[in-house]
Amino acid sequence: MVRDDRDDPFDNIFDEIERMMNDMTGGDAGFASETHIDVYDEGATLRLVADLPGVDKDAIDLKCDGETLTISAAGDRREYDERIRLPARVDEHSASATFNNGVLQVTFDRAEDSAAIDVE
């Protein structure tokens, strides 16, 4: 019996898996074109988790103006320059950050709401 590869339903699936893997890893370059960043709204705080593989802690520069977090970092194979618009205004002076095994976590307290002013 002769096998007709044109009718193999798995060929299309494997081609699609390979295409998706190349999209996720940036093709033959071995690293993605976009930084994976998750933002978690935890009520009184906001927490951002960013994957920065191949970067040393000392190479990370973080800046925040209360509405946008900027992550700049450089590794051997890749440079990161990401601006993340935060879902709520934060107190940028409350920031704490940790970096472990290529994963950056930044936590902010939400900014206080505007205070009401009594008119006398």
- Please write the tens of the pLDDT for every residue from 10-44: 667 777 787 777 677 655 444 444 789 999 999 99
For residues 40, 74, 58 and 54, what is the CA-based torsion angle, rounded to 10 degrees?
80
Q: Which CATH number goes with the domain that contains 48?
A: 2.60.40.790
**Looking at the structure, do residues 29 and 81 belong to the same domain, yes or no?**
no
User: What is the span of the domain harbouring residue 29?
Assistant: 1-33
**Looking at the structure, do residues 39 and 11 belong to the same domain, yes or no?**
no
46 Rama sector, left if φ>0, alpha if ψ -120 to 50, beta otherwise: beta
**Looking at the structure, do residues 42 and 25 belong to the same domain, yes or no?**
no
pLDDT at 69 over 60: yes
Residue, of 22 and 79, whose pLDDT is higher: 79
Q: Which long-range contacts (CB under 8 A, 24 or more apart) does 19-28 make?
A: none
